[in-house]
Amino acid sequence: MSSRILIIDYGSQYTQLIARRVREARVYSEIHPPTRTAQWIRDWSPTGIILSGGPNSVYDAGAPTLDPAVLDIAPVLGVCYGMNLMVHVSGGDVTHAPEREYGRAEVTVAGGDPLFDGFDAGERFTAWMSHGDQVRALPAGFVPIARTTNAPIAAYRHQTRPLFGVQFHPEVAHTTRGTDIIANFLFRVCRADATWTSGAFIEEEVAKIRALVGDKRVICGLSGGVDSAVAATLVHRAIGDQLTCVFVDTGLLRLHEREQVERTFRAHLGIDLVTVDASRRFLDALAGVEDPEQKRKIIGHTFIDVFEDATEASARGAEFLVQGTLYPDVIESASPTGGPSVTIKTHHNVGGLKPEMKFKLIEPLRELFKDEVRNVGRELGLPEEMVGRHPFPGPGLAIRVLGAVTEDALAVLRRADAIYLEEIRAAGLYDEIWQAFAVLLPIRSVGVMGDFRTYENVVALRAVTSTDGMTADWFPFPHEALGRISNRIINEVRGVNRVAYDVSSKPPATIEWE
């Protein structure tokens, strides 16, 4: 069995980062809630266990806890709350810190410990702290191995058992040698194998799909986005002509998007593709609607109806439906606080199909993060223009037309957006940006073109940098590039006489405007 790391999620905002860092080291990891029993964990057979941080104090009533038996199953690394929890359940003392630590702190290493292999004794490095508690007294058998000015025990280990704790967050980029510490835990302590690769994943998943499907037929709803494209291509690698893909043209797509999807899947990959032009149906349903949430609901319901009509005509007895569910969607359904899971929008994954449609689901990407999906797509031979494309919302351009959605408004936005992305690519900036797009504002402004006064549309441009879309900052365009983009849009898109650039971050703003 390949190595795998179990991450127990105690509610930290950084838990997914831990999983990503482990996978970046080519070791498979999964996140699970603290309700997993010691027997479940023993049966899962982890190579190592990481206890995440969290917002609670270990001594609070009702705070999530840990069965001490887990500490005997595999090597354990506790991070922040996880570090304190290990001390708490082992008989040590955790209390309020005299001074809370949030942000950067200087950690001094004692030296001679496998968790800090490659560090010199007395070496100092910058780490990211986020805690209001600290370990006051270690349980028997534990010894300190690092300190900060405010935390005399910033890291510890057990003298004879593979148990380690760090008060800081090695998974965040602000911790300068965090990847070294995680690698030391994985390879020096757990003796894990670095075998988690895109090629290995594809080989294993193809075998699973073939065994599951047999000689049955499969249908997949393509959106034109990365997730559904990679999921469809992976399933096609496994079962070939047993797969039929349905692509719904909602009329809310970007310029030439339909042609790109048809070219890629039919000509390049040879996949059986059925295209349904439902643009009139969507535009009629959206007529006069300005509220963004109402737009989303209409688009979601209409998509389900169109997709169901299409599957009745083209499924040819299909028993399975492919969905591009990703690992973050799965994680959200296992909230460590027991709260309700986040609903995945129906227009993203056709999850709202009617009960009479008795498809069995195939979710080949449910173990992957977005960057891993992109790598799998590249390994499968999808073109970079599709694999590396920026995120695009399920409702399409409808939520980037602020106000009523009309054919004229869509045409203006579609052309402005295409010029924007074209200039970003020409400047070599596309891959530096997480997401870039144009928005058509529901206002008009006065302008002058030649000798004439104009009263026309305003386009806002948005470009952000991010790692996961949870937080984002506006992209600092060179002034020349912004000027060139603005000039082209105003000169080439009839009906636009003003361009603005959005310089708000997330939070407090969101990435999309609606």
Q: Is 211 helix (H, G, I), strand (E, B) or coil?
A: helix
190 part of the active site: no
Does the annotation count 245 as an active-site position? no
Residue 423 annotated among the catalytic residues of the structure: no
Looking up tokens 């849009």 gives 489
- What backbone torsions phi and psi does residue 178 show, to the nearest 5 degrees? -65, -40
CA torsion through residues 362, 368, 370, 371, sign: negative
List 171, 367, 379, 423, catalytic entry: 171
Residue 229 in tokens: 């494209």
Dist CA 437 CA 421 (whole Å)? 7
Continuous segment of H or E residues that includes residue 146: strand 142-147
Using left for φ > 0, alpha for ψ between -120 and 50, and beta otherwise, residue 62 falls in left
Among 88, 131, 169, 236, which one carries the catalytic annotation?
Answer: 169
Q: Is 109 exposed, middle or buried (0-12, 13-18, 19+ CB in 10 A)?
A: buried
Q: In angstroms, what CA-CA distances link 248 with 19, 184, 278, 397, 407?
A: 34, 48, 7, 14, 17
Distance separating alpha carbons of residues 296 and 398, to the nearest angstrom = 8
Q: How far is the first Cα of the chain from the last one, in angstroms, to the nearest whole number?
A: 46
* Interstrand relation of 142-147 and 93-109 (parallel, antiparallel or unpaired): antiparallel
Q: Which residues are catalytic?
A: 80, 169, 171
